[in-house]
Structure formats: structure tokens, C-alpha cells
Structure 1
Amino acid sequence: MTAIDKKKLGVLGLCLISVNTIMGLKNIPFAATIGPSAMVFWVIAALLYFIPISLIVAELSTTYPDQGGVTAWVNRAFGEKASFLCGWFYWVANFTYYPSLMLGIIINIAYATNYQELTDNTWLTTLIAIIIFWTITLLTLRGTQMSGRLAAIGAPLGVAIPAILIFGFGLASMFTGHESATKFTAQSIMPNTISLDTVMFVSTLMFAFSGMEMLGTIARDVKNPQKTFPKAIWISSAIIGGAYIIGTVAFQFVINVKPNQTATALYDFADKMTAQFHLPFNLSQLLGICFVIATLGALSFLILNPSVVFYESGRHILPQTLTKTNKANMPANMILWQAVGVSFILLCSGFVPTLSEALNMLIFMATLAFFIPYVFLICAYVKLRKTDKQAVRPFKVKHNKLAYLVASIGLFSVIGTIVLTLIPSPGTTIAEYAPLVIGPVVFAALGFWFYRLGSKEKETPMKNVS
């Protein structure tokens, strides 16, 4: 029995899990590209997306704790088909997330080894990324004991230490009289114009708040959820939002970040701090080592989680060859096919001229794919709120009108993001835009085809028996 079984989570424990699951330092350089107005956009993203989704997840996970998880809630509201498609999109969404993660690892390795020239060769970085991903995938098939130990070491190294270093040096630079690289004025902080690009920028910041739905799997382990969840939501929102805002301000004070520099911006910041404070060590190399250990430690769990979610929603639909488990009870074939899909996307990204451009393209693709399951989630919440009135809801948005308003705001934000991501920005090439449109269409067609194929296989034995 684990520690989480022996003692239920309180506000502090739930906050720590939320912050560790959601907050990512790599989102700060991207936010910094728009200038001082990023502070306002962070707040807008939290209000439009993070808080509504958090409230919805809190209510669903405490109402149906034994079925924790997005696909289980969707199955209860709309049935097996919707649950399968939701799980399918959740699975394939990671096909675009993993490549962006792997390219980020290559950048970290380049700085950890002090061989920055590695990032200039897109095909070499692609090859190394594929090798690393397949290595961790094959290790994942053997179980999670090793990755569990690595993750325990990697979490503080990958989040806590880099955050302290970045925030600390950035704030130190601000308060020791150094000149700001960015002009902070009332006019520059407030958004002056609302264009398609700025709206899409907010959508990408919303993606930085994603991950709260994962708390559904631990709802039964939360103490006094009626009080714990809302407190944890507001505290986590303040911590994550505050960290993003403070980090972005500190970042912009030190350097100006252009959209084509986001891949290495954290290290450009570190190099500036090393020179500015005459550090006796290379801060870039230290951050690179921290990020490499943290990401590799967490990668096994990141590879396994979506496959397990999809396995649970599709094991009665998908062909047995895909849902077959190995001796370690891992959905081996599903994980291997996932690696094939990731490898294909990584190979395609090799045609993009620079690593930063490839990384930005993959982030947009991941943003689009990840938000599709949220449409299922929000609709399931509304349906269950209307039809399952007898359910005991330890935590709930108290008034129906307020609950539906929360759901409407979340749904508007999610659908708006999906639509806006499909609108090409000026200067976008066909090679950059085509995957955004073709990818979701192909994946959706495959999802329906897999479900139809699996449904027919289920009906065939029944017909033979009759």
C-alpha cells in the first residue's frame, strides 16, 4: 500500500501535485515573445480556461471517484463510442507533444554537454531524439520501477532548482540596478490591439495551464473534497499564474526574446546571468544537466500514461493485437505503435529549417490536438449535471446557472482555440500549415475506422451464437 493510500491528501498535497503536473518553465520564453502585455494575457488565460476546467474536474472527480478519468466520465455521459474517441484523441495528441518534448531534450543535452552547435543540425537532432525515445520506450515496456526512482530525483531538479535559479537571478538583476532589456510602461503592459495573432497567443498560454484533468485519478484520496478542492484550485491558480507572470517579467527584464529564439531562450538568459554576475560556473550547463535528468526521469511515465488511458477506453473495441499486454502488464503493442507515430512526426519535423521553428510548429499542433478531448470533457459535465441529479457531489459549483456559465466559458475557450489554431497566420508556409489541418482529419478518420472495425468484431460472435 502506498503513502497516498494510508493518508488522504489535504490542500497542501493537492496544490503540490497540481503545480508539479501543470507548470512548465519552457512556457515562459514563449510568453516573453509578445512583450510586457504577456502579464495580462496570463491572467486572461487563467480566467478563461484554467479555473473553469479546474472546477469541472473537481466536481466530476469527487462525484465519480471510482471512475476517475476523462474517458470514464465521457463514457458515463455519452456511451462507449464517445469514450473511445475521447481516449483516441488523448492518445494521438501525444504524438505531437512527444516530438516537441524530445527536441527540447536535445537542446538540453546540447547545453549540458556545452556543445551548442548540435542544435544547428536539424537532422542530427532528429536522429538523436528518435534513438532516445525508442530507448526509453523499450525500458518502459519492462515496468516503471526504474523510471519511478528517476522521476523522484528529476522532479526537484527539473522544476524547483531551475525555477529558483531563473527567478532568483532575474529578480536580482532587477533590484541591483541593471538596465532592463524591455521597457515596462502602463501602455506596453496593456494590450493595445487585439489581432488574430494575439488571440492565438492566448490560446497557446491556455495550453500552458493544461493537466488538471489528471487529478481525476486521485480524487478518492482527497480529504474533505468539498473544501479541499476549491481551496487547492485557487491556491494553485495563484501559484502557477504568479510564477508564470513573475518569471515572464524577470525573463523580459534580462533579454528580448524573438519567436525564432524560443528553443534556446532559457539558455540565452542563463548566459546573460553568468556574465552579468561573474558566476564561477556556467549557469547554462547547470540548467541543461537539471533539465536532462528531469525530463528523462519523467519520460517513461509520460510515454505510458496516454497509452493506459486509451487502453482502458478501447480494450473492448480495439483489435487484440493492439491491446495485448506483456509480462509486465504493459500495453506493449500500443506503446510501440505510439513510438512509430512519434518517430514519423519527428522525421517530418526534420524538414523544418530551424529547431525553434520546428518546436513552435509542434507546440501549435499539440495545442490543437490536446484541446479536442476537453470538448468531450465539458460536454460530459453538462450532460451529467442535467441527467444525474441524484448523484452525491462532495464538491460542486453550487448553482446550476453558475455551473453552466463556467462550462460555457470553458467550452468557448476550448472550441475557440481549436478554430483559431486552424487559421494560418501571415507568413505561414504550406509545409508549416498542412500538418495542422491534415493531422486532425487523418487522426479523426482513423479513430472512427478503428471504432467501426472493433464494433463489427464484437457483433460477429454474437451473430454466430444466435
Structure 2
Amino acid sequence: MSDTAEPQHPARVMGFADVAMLYIVTGVSLRWIATAAAAGPGSVIIWIGAFLLFYVPFAMAVLELSSRHPDEGGLYAWTRRAFGDFPGFIAGWCYWTSNLPYFPAVFYFAASNALYVGGDTAMGLSQSPAYFMWFALLSLALIALLNIVGLKHARWLHNIGAYGMWVPVAVVIVMGIVSWSRYGSATEFSFATMVPSFEFKDMIFWASLAFAFSGCETASFMSGEIRDARRTIPRALVFAGIVVASCYILGTIAVLVAMPQDQVDSLAGLMQAITTTATKLDWLWIVPVVALLITLGNLGAAGGFLAATSRIPFAVGIDRMLPPAFGKLHPRFGTPHVAIIVQTALGAVFVFLGQAGTSVKGAYDVLVSMGIITSFIPFVFVFLSLIKLQGEPAAADVIRVPGGRRVAIVLGCIGLTTTLCAIGLAVMPAADELNKPLAVIKIVGLTMMLIGIGWAIYALSKRRAAQAAPALG
């Protein structure tokens, strides 16, 4: 890139530690530990399956693609390189819009855990839609402000948030070991109990556990802001992957050691387990501390995803497939402020849309399902891009999938199959959803609306470009 174009890109401020922390804070989502524990010991096997059949292929795809093409925009740039402008735009658009339902969902989880900081008095708000909505709106405003100021400052929220993810898991593991040594396990772990249920209503949550292993794509969107991205991203990816998998598997076991499966709440199960065990061990002082860490962890995760996904419309704006304003930087902070502001505003709209006509739990389930579907659509393009680009010569310094072209194609096919199955399962409403038809209509209808809007924006941008071409000629 020429020197004259360089001001169009933010400064490179992230090193190995920053990228590793970003991967951890966006890769570990404590709500999935609660979801898995509520499903019982069989979820441990599902975690392992999701790791092998989704995370490993996905991480390998990100590793090679980010090394082949360390461009700002991540999967948007890879898909555009492999299949052209329209698939690239739709992949980037779906990933960007997937975070619209993601933000309210993660804030609902953070809000449910924040209640433990306030004690019994605050717990009375656990069924108050107004509390959850205001929490989500104020949190969106906070992370938007930090990201507009820039990654130089916003990265500290990601780094603190990473501790807010793995430290609570470490606490529940330690407490689980102590509780087990004194009182035994509250859940039976045996061959019979650890065999996953293959009933359709129980298989629906498998998509959630596969989705939980997403996040290793986030740093690639900000390649232009990472020092020596070609080397930093793969090393951070391997380190964070070990942390993420350990947190999910060991955290789920620890929750089930602390309390029976049928008592685990799918939103606040981790805090339930900590509270239950702390009561037994007379360690109640630790409950508000861990609750605060979890809240900060989820704020950090939301901030990390906002930082990552805002770079998609920034890159698309530079390519003139969105209004040029998206490709401009803030005159003072050098950040893609237009994309950040637009995404924050639309996220606020989804807080209200997800809540309409349902309970807090129902809203959470709808938002999660929407987030899974719209996130997995671009993942389909990632695996297809990995397969397609095996026919393109790789430079000597490119980090390839171990085993080369054949292994890359096999992993791409495995990841693609897992992703398509997860999309199918995510359409189905949760078993305890009271209004299942409305839930399906919301999930499918809002997803199709988002894709349709993306197609319309792309078509309009191409029409504008075609009309402008004769004038330029």
C-alpha cells in the first residue's frame, strides 16, 4: 500500500499479549458453561466433539487464511479473494449483523450475573425486562465510547475482560475440588450419565456449544492494527485455544460437581454453582467478587466483538460497497467511528425487538439462535474459502495447515458439515419456549430480513458505481 493510503488505516497497537487476551475474552463465553451444565454430564462429550469437529478445523482455517491474506476485514477479505465481491460482501454483512443480536444476548447474561453483586435485594430484578433492557443499552453506550476513542485504550477492557472469563472458571474448579473432597459430587458421573441424549429436543443445544467455540476469527478483522500479524495471530491462536477448551470442559464438570443438573439455570448457572459451594464452604465473600469479574468479562467480550466487527464495514467502505463514510476514520482518534455508531444504534433496536412478546428467558433464546445462524453463515464461507484457495500458490512465509493441501481440504469439509448442521439445529426453538411458532418466526424472519437488507445495499452500491462509471470515463 502506498504512503498516501496509509492514513486510511488505524495504527498498529496490538502485540501478542493483546491478541491472546482478545481471543480469550471473545472465545470463552461463560453463559455456555451454564447451558452445558444444565444439559447434564453428557455435555462434556459434546464439548469435546465441538472442539474436534468445529474449533480445530475453524482455527486451522483462520491460521492459514490470515497468514495467506493478512488484510483488514478478515473473513470478508478472504471470501472476496476466493469467490468475488458479492459472496465477500454477504459473508462480511452476515458476520457484522450477527453481532446485533449477540450484544443484547451477552448483556442479558452479564446483567443476570451482576445481580449477585447486589445480593438478595438486587435478585428481585431477575424477572424485570426493564432492568435487562437498560443494562444492555447503557453497556452498549459504554463499549461504543471506548472503541471510538481507539484500541489503544479499548484493548484494556478486552484484557481485563479476559481475566473476567478465566478467573471465575478457575475459582469454580478450585471450589468444586474442595467441595467434592468434603461432600462428594452433586451429580453422578458414569458411562450411562455421560452418554449424550440423541433426542431432538436435546440436540438443539449442540449448535450452541459449537457456536461457543467461535471467536478465533476476531483478531483477523484487525490485522492492520496488529504488529507482525502474520506471526502474532497463529501463536496467540494456539495459546488461547488451549485456555478456551480447558475453561469450557473443566468449568462444566465443576458446576455439575457443585449442584445437580436439574437445578442449574442456563443463564446464571456458573454463579449458582459458586454461590451454592461458597455457602457450603462458608466462602460467601467470594460471590460478589466473582460476579463482578463475570460482568466485566462479558463487557470485555462485547467490546472485543464490537472492535472486530466494526472493521468489516470499514474495509467494505474502502472498497466502495458501502457508503464512503464507513471507510473514513475519526479525525482525532483514527477509528472507524461511523461503523461503531451504526452498529451500536442497531444493537439497541435489537434489544427491543428481542424482548417483544416474550419473557426474559424467551428473549435470550431468540437472540442466541439468531446470533448462531447469522454467525455461522460467514463461517460456511470461511471453510469454502480454505478449500478454494488451496489451488492458489502460497508464499514461502505463509503458515499452512499441518499436512498441507489434503489435510486442509479434509478439515474444511469437516468444519463445513458441522456448521451446516449447527445452522439447522439453531432454527429450532428451545424446549421450554412457551410460544414456539413466534420464536421460529422471529429467528427465521429477522435472519432473512438482515440478509435481504444486505443484498439490497450491495445491489444499490453496484448500481451507483455503474452510474458513476460513464461520468468518470
Task: Please show how residues 298-447 of structure 1 align to structure 2 within 5 Å.
Answer: 299-315=302-318, 316-321=320-325, 323=327, 325-327=329-331, 328-351=333-356, 353-386=358-391, 388-389=392-393, 391-392=395-396, 393-424=398-429, 428=433, 429-447=436-454
List per-residue Cα deviations over 1:408-448 (Å, max 9, x = no partner).
11100111111222244656422322121011211111111
Cα distance between partner residues in 2 of 1:133 and 1:260: 28
Q: Tell me how far 1:188 sits from its aligned partner.
A: 0.9
**C-alpha distance 66-341 of structure 1, shift in aligned 2 (>3 A):** closer
Match of 1:105 in 2: 110
Task: Please show how residues 86-165 of structure 1 align to structure 2 within 5 Å.
Answer: 86-114=91-119, 115-156=122-163, 158-165=164-171
Match of 1:463 among 461, 464, 470: 470
Amino acid at match of 1:123: A
Match of 2:459 among 404, 428, 452: 452
- Structure 2's unaligned 5+ residue stretches are 1-10
Q: Tell me how far 1:373 sits from its aligned partner.
A: 0.8
**C-alpha distance 394-127 of structure 1, shift in aligned 2 (>3 A):** closer
Task: Please show how residues 156-175 of structure 1 align to structure 2 within 5 Å.
Answer: 156=163, 158-175=164-181
Match of 1:283 in 2: 286
Q: Tell me how far 1:92 sits from its aligned partner.
A: 0.2
- Answer yes or no: is the 8 Å Cα contact 2:86–2:458 preserved in 1: yes
**C-alpha distance 322-149 of structure 1, shift in aligned 2 (>3 A):** closer
- Count of aligned pairs: 452
**C-alpha distance 136-68 of structure 1, shift in aligned 2 (>3 A):** closer
- Structure 1's unaligned 5+ residue stretches are none
Q: Tell me how far 1:13 sits from its aligned partner.
A: 9.3
**C-alpha distance 439-260 of structure 1, shift in aligned 2 (>3 A):** farther
Q: Tell me how far 1:352 sits from its aligned partner.
A: 5.5
Q: Tell me how far 1:346 sits from its aligned partner.
A: 0.9
Q: Tell me how far 1:325 sits from its aligned partner.
A: 4.1
Match of 1:262 among 261, 266, 287: 266
More deviation, 325-334/81-90: 325-334
Amino acid at match of 2:198: I
- Answer yes or no: is the 8 Å Cα contact 2:59–2:216 preserved in 1: yes
What secondary structure does 2:310 align onto? helix
More deviation, 349-358/202-211: 349-358
- Answer yes or no: is the 8 Å Cα contact 1:130–1:343 preserved in 2: yes
**C-alpha distance 342-237 of structure 1, shift in aligned 2 (>3 A):** closer
What secondary structure does 2:126 align onto? helix
List per-residue Cα deviations over 1:299-337 (Å, max 9, x = no partner).
444323212222202431112355554323333333222
Cα distance between partner residues in 2 of 1:147 and 1:399: 37
Cα distance between partner residues in 2 of 1:288 and 1:224: 32
More deviation, 205-214/297-306: 297-306
**C-alpha distance 179-398 of structure 1, shift in aligned 2 (>3 A):** closer
- Answer yes or no: is the 8 Å Cα contact 1:260–1:357 preserved in 2: no
What secondary structure does 1:120 align onto? coil
Cα distance between partner residues in 2 of 1:300 and 1:19: 13
Cα distance between partner residues in 1 of 2:95 and 2:45: 30
Match of 1:273 in 2: 277
Amino acid at match of 2:57: P
Amino acid at match of 1:291: I
Q: TM-score, structure 2 length as denominator?
A: 0.86
Match of 1:183 in 2: 188
**Identity over aligned pairs, percent:** 23
RMSD of the TM alignment (CA)? 2.9
What secondary structure does 1:329 align onto? coil
Q: Tell me how far 1:154 sits from its aligned partner.
A: 3.7
Match of 2:51 in 1: 46
Match of 1:36 in 2: 41
What secondary structure does 1:85 align onto? helix
What secondary structure does 1:141 align onto? helix
Amino acid at match of 1:242: S
Amino acid at match of 2:420: I
Match of 1:205 among 193, 205, 209: 209
Cα distance between partner residues in 2 of 1:129 and 1:198: 29
Q: Tell me how far 1:274 sits from its aligned partner.
A: 2.0
- Answer yes or no: is the 8 Å Cα contact 1:68–1:219 preserved in 2: no
Cα distance between partner residues in 2 of 1:244 and 1:237: 11
- Answer yes or no: is the 8 Å Cα contact 2:14–2:227 preserved in 1: no
Cα distance between partner residues in 2 of 1:390 and 1:135: 42
**C-alpha distance 232-446 of structure 1, shift in aligned 2 (>3 A):** closer
